[in-house]
Structure 1
Amino acid sequence: MALTVDEQLALTASEAVAAIHTGRMTALDYTSTLLARAEALANLNALTSLEADQALAAARRIDALSVEERARLPLAGLPIVVKANINVAGMRTCAGTPSLAQFVVRTSAPSVRKLVDAGAIVLGKANMHELAVGITSTNLSPHARPVRNPYDRTRIPGGSSGGTAAAIAARIVPAGLGTDTGGSVRIPAALTGIAGLRPSVGNGGAERRYHDPQAVVPISRTRDTVGPMARTVSDVALLDRAITDGLPLAAVRLPGLRIGLPAPLWHGLDHELETVLRTAVDRLADAGVEFVEVALPDLLPLASDISLPIAFHEASEDVPAWLDANGAPVRTIAQVLADVASPDVQRIYEAVAAKTFGAQYDEALTQGRPALQRLYADTFAAQRIDALLFPTTPLPAVPIDEANGSSTVSIAGGEPLDEMAAYLRHTDPGSIAGIPGLSLPAGVTRTGLPLGLELDGPLGSDRRLLAIGVAFETVLGALPAPTL
């Protein structure tokens, strides 16, 4: 019996692929349903482009395969969205900024190619915080516009991969790709009730899990990475396996897991968020997880000293290099800055153009970052812990600031804080160190705003981290769909 539209929209990525493999649903029918959903929810501003003709043609090709041929494609007929700063052949890589609004690239990022080769269908490009240098996805470019949180359209979805997150949460697609420099996959995952992985980066080379050189509009070569996003950790693992040609995850039993709770990341929280997430930790403890308090007094000060010098200085070099390598219509930071539409991004790009942090860069990269990496490695070893667990963000989604792109926030009635700094507080340290991080849904506020917990693991522990996340979601469950 054919699946109804509502049944199709409720499918996770794994369920959708299974339905196509077994013939309960065609790729064409499913893709058509999701294209209609995208058009109906266009006012969320989740997408910068909808590639209907290409998507339908790809679906027809999947349906034309034999049963045996489809069975060999682990993502057969799975529609996804790809963040607008990631190259997809024949589509615009606009990065949400006017100077690149019509820039069509010729080749796809390797991570995208892996997914397409596995049978995925790119439904369209996802909106984002302009040039990925923000955490609200309040894009003020007329070509993009602010992304709206499906759980409350007056609030941010997080960023910078907010369009990918909003599209997944709104059931426009079951999965997609974002990018993460300091939290841009995990923050929107948490604020929209989905899961998102920042894979290992380490010091690059063999330590880097995903290899997408010159295929993503950059911020920092040291810190940038593509990351998969989906409604469940199991689906994130499905995409990760396709990108890395990996094996299935080994099952993890909760009894016997030893998880650290880093003290700095459990203080200064929104009161309701802390109550909900402490309850989630209690449920995991009841299921057999052993939790250990970890002091880490140096974590936040060390990360704060080196975050901006690395990201902003490298952007001054890496952005022009990407523009030149990809044959973009503009080639300099100044040319990009001249057309930046969002005031918060303009301020950041002015600092990038001025190379404000040039004098601090070498010390941050050669001394501060290695010290942070040692702190993490020593902590995992000395405490004998599998991972660290903490709130992905210190507060839920805040209202959209349509005048400035981002502004200030107050956590639990405290002093006003820079909005980007507040939301990056928990995700940035692991990003700088290059270790993997996974955000998974963990509850909602009284008004229904999603909240997330993050697991950070040792360098290279991505598959183990995903397996722990899969085990955790059997206890915590999925969040209810937004009312749209």
Structure 2
Amino acid sequence: MRHASRRDVLTATLGLTAIKAISILPFGTQAYAQTPPQTAAGIVSAIREKRTSATDVVKAALARAEQMKHLNAIITLNTEGALAAAKKIDDMVAGGKPLPPLAGLPIVVKDNINTADLPTTGGTEALRNARPNANAPSLQKLIDAGAIVVGKANMHELAFGITSTNAASFAGHVKNPYDTTRIPGGSSGGTSASIAAGIVTAGLGSDTGGSTRIPAALTGTVGLRPSVGNGGAQRRYHDANAVVPISHTRDTVGPMGRTVADVALLDSVITGTPLATPAALKGKRIGIPTSFWNGLDPELEAVVKTARGKLETAGVVFVDGDLPGLAELNAKVSFPVALHEPVEDIPAYLKASGIDGVTLEDIAGKIKSPDVQGAFGAILKDAFGKDYPDAMKVHRPALQKLYADYFKANNLDAMLFPTTPAPAVPIDAEKGSGEMSIGGGKPAPTFFTMIRNTDPGSNAGIPGLSLFAGMTKGGLPVGIEIDGPVGSDTALLALGLAMEALLGTAPAPGAK
């Protein structure tokens, strides 16, 4: 009876077509007369060629979101707004009007990215009803190109964590579609879980220390951290004061997708640059930073070494070596920046976004997740304020020089490493982010363990792309990352397209 009742509700709300097509995005088989599209571009083409309608695609995404609601991947569904936007696309098709490049593509948007027509909660109680005065610029470019926001994605509270285990009353713990007892990664866990579960093919996350790439790795999807550099012309995406902030120095919006092609398409639209095309792998020089490959989970290690072997067979030239003193230098930058800049950045965001009656202290006082409460205790005390000037004027420039010298001295196109040292770990509902053990070793904090490989590049402001490397014997996805010099984003995407053609894409959750 429960199953029949849910079906009746869905049928009444979305129509029978959506129920029949409930699994089409991206893994279903019944929605299209031909082979179902497996990429964002494929969905847009199907709409453009009248093999389906934008309305049917959006209805299917909404129905799939309802079916997958146990994942807690989405905070707010945009049912009415998404269907209205889809009708406009269908009217354009019927009238023979030129279609924008993303016409009818359903996306989800992390709930710290400003949306004018939907709340932007940051996954925290104090902002539950916050309504910013405008869409974030990167999102607006996608909407102008015809993308349709079907929902705001759940996240680690205020983006201060990598598990997406959120204790806020309206959010909940995001679950990994491949094993719902495990984390999807974070802080953009809702976006990655929505993509992995087939609700949408692509969406937006944000990344401060790994928040697009870690969840991509743990859910078999793809995440890009665009170049940030020293800001200004070096910053690829420009969303100042349009994302609930951690750090203006480190934060960036980043596209996420089921494939590298999905991410490349969104990146091209946001930046107005030509779409990346696959690079030739033969002769590419890629660095292997030794320390990033040490201390790995045995099952994950087997997967990434197999991936490396395939790339070597394809003609990639690997250059072994390390970045001396990287961990120590990164430690002098990471927390002094991330736990000092919110003192000014959060009030500036609230003012610029027109969110009245909420203060930094209000936000801190209503945080529910234990791990985030700890971080904001340090922020309110400005515990790292004394270290911040040296972090910005001495240590961060030194970190950036270390990376630049590494790429230049070795004549590298990119560097390659496991995105995370272990696959997804069990959800720790009590602490939000507890401890984990790799290979039976001594337990260590999950946060520091999982950001080990993604955080240094974030602090240096270089671009990074995490893509699917393979599955563990236990059925969990593994991600592998390529980082490049500041400004090499398009080249990095081109390399990622070629790597993905060789390594493949993740199977659907539950698929054999």
What aligned pairs does 1:367-406 form with structure 2 within 5 A after superposition?
Answer: 367-406=394-433
Shift of residue 251 of structure 1? 3.5
2:35 is aligned to none
2:252 is aligned to 225
2:218 alignment partner AA: L
Verify the 8 A CA contact 1:201 1:208 in the aligned structure 2: yes
- Choose which of 239, 262, 265 in structure 1 pairs with 2:289: 262
1:236 is aligned to 263
What aligned pairs does 1:51-62 form with structure 2 within 5 A after superposition?
Answer: 51-62=78-89
Instruction: Specify whether residues 59 and 306 from structure 1 end up closer, same or farther in structure 2 by C-alpha distance, changes over 3 A only.
Output: same
1:73 is aligned to 100
Deviates more, 1:5-14 or 1:29-38: 5-14
Verify the 8 A CA contact 2:93 2:99 in the aligned structure 1: no
Q: Supply the distance in 2 between the matched residues of 1:346 and 1:302 (Cα, whole angstroms).
A: 26
2:144 alignment partner AA: D
Q: Supply the distance in 2 between the matched residues of 1:69 and 1:139 (Cα, whole angstroms).
A: 46
Question: Secondary structure of 2:318's partner?
Answer: strand
Report percent identity of matched pairs.
Answer: 56
- Choose which of 303, 312, 321 in structure 1 pairs with 2:330: 303
Instruction: Specify whether residues 239 and 338 from structure 1 end up closer, same or farther in structure 2 by C-alpha distance, changes over 3 A only.
Output: same
Q: Does 1:85 align with 2:102?
A: no
Instruction: Specify whether residues 33 and 66 from structure 1 end up closer, same or farther in structure 2 by C-alpha distance, changes over 3 A only.
Output: closer
1:19 is aligned to 46
Question: Secondary structure of 1:293's partner?
Answer: strand
Verify the 8 A CA contact 1:264 1:297 in the aligned structure 2: no
Instruction: After superposition, give the CA deviation of every residue in 1:389-445 in whole Å (9 maximum; x if it has no partner).
Output: 000001110000111111111122222211111111000000000000000000111
Question: Secondary structure of 1:454's partner?
Answer: strand
Q: Does 1:37 align with 2:64?
A: yes
Verify the 8 A CA contact 2:280 2:498 in the aligned structure 1: yes
TM-score by length of structure 2 reads 0.92
Q: Supply the distance in 2 between the matched residues of 1:283 and 1:439 (Cα, whole angstroms).
A: 17
1:9 alignment partner AA: P
1:276 is aligned to 303
TM-score by length of structure 1 reads 0.98
Shift of residue 271 of structure 1? 1.2
2:510 is aligned to 483
Verify the 8 A CA contact 1:100 1:329 in the aligned structure 2: no
Which segments of structure 1 move beyond 3 Å, counting only runs of 4 or more?
6-9, 66-72
Q: Supply the distance in 1 between the matched residues of 2:101 and 2:95 (Cα, whole angstroms).
A: 12
Q: Supply the distance in 1 between the matched residues of 2:247 and 2:422 (Cα, whole angstroms).
A: 26
1:125 is aligned to 152
Q: Supply the distance in 2 between the matched residues of 1:186 and 1:68 (Cα, whole angstroms).
A: 41
- Choose which of 192, 205, 210 in structure 2 pairs with 1:165: 192
2:40 alignment partner AA: A
Q: Supply the distance in 2 between the matched residues of 1:368 and 1:344 (Cα, whole angstroms).
A: 27
Instruction: Specify whether residues 282 and 69 from structure 1 end up closer, same or farther in structure 2 by C-alpha distance, changes over 3 A only.
Output: farther
Q: Does 1:463 align with 2:469?
A: no
Q: Supply the distance in 2 between the matched residues of 1:294 and 1:459 (Cα, whole angstroms).
A: 20
- Choose which of 26, 46, 55 in structure 2 pairs with 1:9: 26
Shift of residue 121 of structure 1? 0.1
1:318 is aligned to 345
Q: Supply the distance in 1 between the matched residues of 2:115 and 2:144 (Cα, whole angstroms).
A: 13
- Count residues with an aligned counterpart: 483
Question: Secondary structure of 1:285's partner?
Answer: helix
Instruction: After superposition, give the CA deviation of every residue in 1:178-237 in whole Å (9 maximum; x if it has no partner).
Output: 000000000000000000000000000111000011100000000000000000001100
Instruction: Specify whether residues 299 and 76 from structure 1 end up closer, same or farther in structure 2 by C-alpha distance, changes over 3 A only.
Output: same
2:26 alignment partner AA: L
Verify the 8 A CA contact 1:17 1:76 in the aligned structure 2: yes
Shift of residue 306 of structure 1? 1.4
Shift of residue 327 of structure 1? 2.8
Shift of residue 8 of structure 1? 4.8
Q: Does 1:333 align with 2:360?
A: yes
- Choose which of 131, 143, 162 in structure 2 pairs with 1:104: 131
Shift of residue 277 of structure 1? 0.5
Verify the 8 A CA contact 2:106 2:148 in the aligned structure 1: yes
RMSD value, Cα: 1.5
Q: Supply the distance in 1 between the matched residues of 2:234 and 2:95 (Cα, whole angstroms).
A: 35
Question: Secondary structure of 1:65's partner?
Answer: helix
Q: Supply the distance in 1 between the matched residues of 2:105 and 2:59 (Cα, whole angstroms).
A: 12
Q: Which runs of 5+ in 2 are unaligned?
A: 1-16, 28-37
